[in-house]
Structure 1
Amino acid sequence: MCVASTPQPPPPGRLTRRGVLAAAAALAGTTAVPAAAASASAASASAASASAASAAAAPDSAPGGADLVVEGGRLLDPATGEVTEDAVVVITGGLVRAAGPRNRLGGKVPAGVRVLRAHGQWILPGLVDAHIHLNTAAEARDAVRKGATSARSGSTSFYQDIAVRELARTAPELAPRLRAAGIFVTPDLGDTLLADPDLAPLARLRGGVRSAEALRRVVEVNLARGADTIKTRVNERAGLPEQDPLAQVYDHEQLSAIVAAARRGGKGVLCHSYSEKGCHDAVTAGIRSLEHGAFVGERTLYDMRRRGTYFTPTLTAIAGLAESSDPILAERGRTYLPVLQRAVLAAHELGVPLAAGTDSSGGTVDPIGREVELMRAAGLSALDALRTATTGAARLLGLDGSVGRLVRGYAGDLLVVDGDPLADVGVLTRPAHVVRAGITVRQA
């Protein structure tokens, strides 16, 4: 069944900046966004799109950044593995102005600027959570406090992530720098049909969102509402005992239609997956990153390396299933986790790019440091595990020129930890200090 008897025009972009964005802000519990959305609604849809594109290209230039000097600790650069003793990091207006040993900075340390002393501690860039569901302002704030200064949304039900992204641009201490995914492209939208009037024609579809036209429609609504990426699925969920995570819900042709619609808007696709065939269909359809992917096969990993497809295994979420009080979920977690750990190590050894993501949702935010810890447990070196949440994840999000390192011109986002992360990555789960755009958001 088609979306409608006649072709539907593309959804108007103006609704993003007024009604939908304001509603998303209300659902997310933010207050800064609606006023901005109302003022922006006076601009044309094309101007709004251009503004969003500009902000996405320079996410670290958002207003609200502060000046800060962090001094005295050991500075770790994940890109090179270099450790600088007695380091100083100078942040001005939310950006790194200088970073290096104290004896080389000379007069670059400004007078009268607030100082965070990190003697005996380690300094490293803020971490990136490449798969997280942020539905409220409280969750966004919690993610930052636990070390995720940048993130990619794994979708929300009512565009709350769009509002959280805007909150992060105006009040960076309250939310991670965010790549928003909008709503999930899935066969059964459920109450998400109420997220946007342009989804209403899908309500009467027999069998749900499955035709090429319906799939394209959901992608187009997401793009018109300002999504930075598109989230879809190939398998059912592992976290619901009544579902079979190996059951496939979209085939290669349907996934290809989603990817094509996203590419027309200049966006990539992240795909929820579990089964071997599902993973292969998703990768060969052209997705940007494979999420979960417990049973990904060797042939698919080779395809991923050739295509540059990222693997975001969300080990934290799978490990969490093993601790469930539901016996089905607990058994599923115990079975899937070692399989997924082997897949992670095989991917790493083949050269498949990895990104850390917690898949936090439902009001509970797991520290992104826990995902790094599980990457290490899967067999990666401590430095390579750290890279999955810094330089690697930054490349996936298109932020590799501004996030993941502490060098001149990069975002003034950092963690201070009480221990050597190259000896024990577990210190990342309990940062002593978290700084977002020069603003201290967590302090021991």
Structure 2
Amino acid sequence: MILRQRPAVYLCLALVGATLSTAALAQQQEKTAATRTLVRAGHVLDVKTGKVSDGQTIVVAGDSIQSIEPTASVIAGPGDVVVNLGGMTVMPGLIDVHTHLTMNPDFDPYRELISTSAKEAINGVVNARTTLMAGFTSVRNVGASGFVDVDLRDAINAGQVPGPHMLVSGPLLGITGGHCDENLLPIQYHVVGDGVADGIAQVQHQVRQNIKYGADLIKICATGGVLSKGDDPQASQFTLEEMQAIVADAHRLGRKVAAHAHGAQGILWATEAGVDSIEHGSYIDDASIAEMKKRGTYLVPTLYLEDWMLENGHLPPFYHQKMVDVSAVAKKNIKHAMESGVKIALGTDAAVYPHGLNAHELDVYVNQLGMSPLAALQTATVNAADLMGWTAKTGTLEPGKWADIIGVEKNPLDDVRVLQDVKFVMKAGVVYKGEGGGAK
């Protein structure tokens, strides 16, 4: 999606930190006072195997899982907090590797032009909470102007506002006049997107600058996009050599690279350059599929947005036709990639449609593309954690990992749509929704 690029205008997120309720903040600050938190679950789902274990207690110490044991063998001690989830099915918190928390689904060009980093910071606080309450305890934020997502991540980590664990990219890297530039204003304004860079030396500088100001990963625009003026989703943007330079610097400096890519040539070049994930992948073909399988590159489809946008979107004509064209081919091509064995991690492009509807993406994978429910859940847990480099921290319920736990009314392997109504959310040992939750 297009990013509204603006000069860096920072707003102290403490001004909007009141969205974190007093009860949740107190719980976060005082959780170490309790010996343990005992999450008593009717059923615990192992997302690696699909096995369901009944009558289990997840023992949480601090922000991590200490053990998972039969409830009958875990006796509450003095100071323990007991969370009784009755007959709920419990599983690891979900992960969305393609979000834009500082943005909202309003693509009136005038509104895009009057956005500021201050407004986007406020958006981020609201949307981070919404995303967490929907059961998504970790996200990658792949594009924000003014490094606002860096500030949002830091505010969440400091306990100022509620939100998921975040990896953030800062401004997207793109070419002059491409999907990640600012193309709505005429030349006399001389407005250039935050991450625009042309040529090997400039793209290397931009990678290093993004890392200097706090980026956890690098996001590039390898092709044109849909929600941007004057570019073609099928046309390549960066050259192969430019992308190779980007990836070489990013990887040497310990950052992964995500590539926005719709067109087949751009997908292939980005994969050959060594990016870690292809975002969207609408026109993916057999050559790209073969190269991605060879290199172990992840595909991050963003498909539910097409359904939502075609039904509810009110786009300017220069966006609308591109949305229609991409939507006509993307699901067929991505289903082929899935069936061919390309690794899939769940991403939604939340902000193209309203935040909090992220789990609808799983419904598309299962009920439109034919993916098994377990494989779909793995895209939002095991696979997504692997892509983020967080396998040791999250993605499954195991001792030593973050206590990121969600609960739903029935087994999502029987109906994946149940994840659209998550009843219980714990992130890093703090309950935000459900029994004992303070941020309601």
TM bin (shorter chain): 0.7 to 0.9
Aligned length: 382
Q: Distance between the aligned counterparts of 1:25 and 1:100, measured in 2?
A: 45
Of the candidates 211, 236, 258, which is equivalent to residue 223 of structure 1? Answer: 211
Task: Determine if the alignment matches structure 1 residue 434 to structure 2 residue 420.
Answer: no
- Counterpart residue identity of residue 356, structure 1: L
What is aligned with 1:125?
92
Q: Secondary structure at the match of 1:373?
A: helix
| Residue 156 (structure 1) aligns with | 144
Map Cα deviations across residues 23-81 of structure 1 (whole Å, 9 max, x no partner).
6563796669xxxxxxxxxxxxxxxxxxxxxxxxxxxxx98766532213211010121
User: 2-side partners of 1:409 and 1:280: how far apart?
Assistant: 38
Match 1:82 to one of 51, 76, 93: 51
**Structure 1 residues 121, 179: CA separation in 2 closer, same or farther (over 3 Å shift)?**
same
Unaligned runs of 5+ in 1: 1-19, 33-61, 194-201
SS in 2 for 1:244: coil
Query: Which residue number in structure 2 is paired with residue 276 of structure 1?
Result: 264
Query: Is 2:243 the partner of 1:255?
Result: yes
Query: After the TM superposition, which residues 367-378 of structure 1 pair with which residues of structure 2 at under 5 Å, given as runs?
Result: 367-377=357-367, 378=369
Q: Which runs of 5+ in 2 are unaligned?
A: 1-7, 19-27, 103-123, 182-189, 436-440
Look up the match of 2:155: 167
Alignment partners' CA distance in 2, 1:30 and 1:325: 30
Letter of the 1:365 counterpart:
H
Give how far 1:169 is off. Answer: 2.0
- The counterpart of 2:413, out of the listed 393, 418, 422, is 422
Secondary structure at the residue paired with 2:145? Answer: coil
Return the letter of the residue paired with 1:141: R
SS at match of 2:259: strand
Percent identity of paired positions between Structure 1 and Structure 2: 29
* 2:108 match: none
Decide whether the 8 Å contact of 2:44 with 2:52 is kept in 1: yes
Following superposition of structure 1 onto structure 2, how do residues 334-413 of structure 1 map, counting pairs within 5 Å? 334-337=324-327, 339-361=329-351, 364-377=354-367, 378-413=369-404
C-alpha spacing 1:396/1:385, structure 2 compared with 1 (3 Å)? same
The structure-2 alpha-carbon separation of the partners of 1:297 and 1:362, relative to structure 1 and needing over 3 Å to count, comes to closer
1:311 Cα deviation after fit: 0.6
Instruction: Mark the CA change 1:68 to 1:254 in structure 2 (over 3 Å): closer, same or farther.
Output: same
Cα-to-partner distance string for 1:386-428 (whole Å, 9 max, x where unaligned)? 0000010000001111101111111111111112200111111
RMSD over aligned CA atoms reads 3.0
| TM-score normalised over the length of structure 2 | 0.79
- Do the aligned partners of residues 352 and 65 (structure 1) sit closer, same or farther apart at CA in structure 2, a change above 3 Å counting? farther
Match of 1:26 among 12, 26, 45: 12
> Quick one: structure 1 residues 72 and 264, their matched pair in 2 at CA, closer, same or farther if it must change by over 3 Å?
closer
The verdict on how the C-alpha distance between 1:274 and 1:29 changes in structure 2, with shifts beyond 3 A counting, is farther
Distance 2:370 2:310 in 1: 20
SS of residue matched to 2:375: helix
- Matched letter for residue 201 of structure 2: E
2:254 matched to 1:266? yes
Comparing both structures, which one devotes a greater share of its residues to helix?
Answer: 1
Evaluate the alpha carbon distance shift between residue 24 and residue 412 of structure 1 in structure 2; reply closer, same or farther with a 3 A threshold. farther
What secondary structure does 2:359 align onto?
Answer: helix
Three-state SS of the structure 2 residue aligned to 1:88 is strand
Q: Deviations over 1:6-33 (max 9, x none)?
A: xxxxxxxxxxxxxx8xx6563796669x
CA distance in 2, matches of 1:334, 1:384: 28
TM-score relative to the length of structure 1? 0.78
Contact 1:93 1:438 (C-alpha < 8 Å) held by counterparts: yes
Q: How many Å apart are 1:333 and its aligned residue?
A: 4.2
Name the structure 2 match of 1:94: 63
Shift of 1:204: 9.1
Instruction: Decide whether aligned partners of structure 1 residues 30 and 287 sit closer, same or farther in structure 2, where only a CA change above 3 A counts.
Output: farther
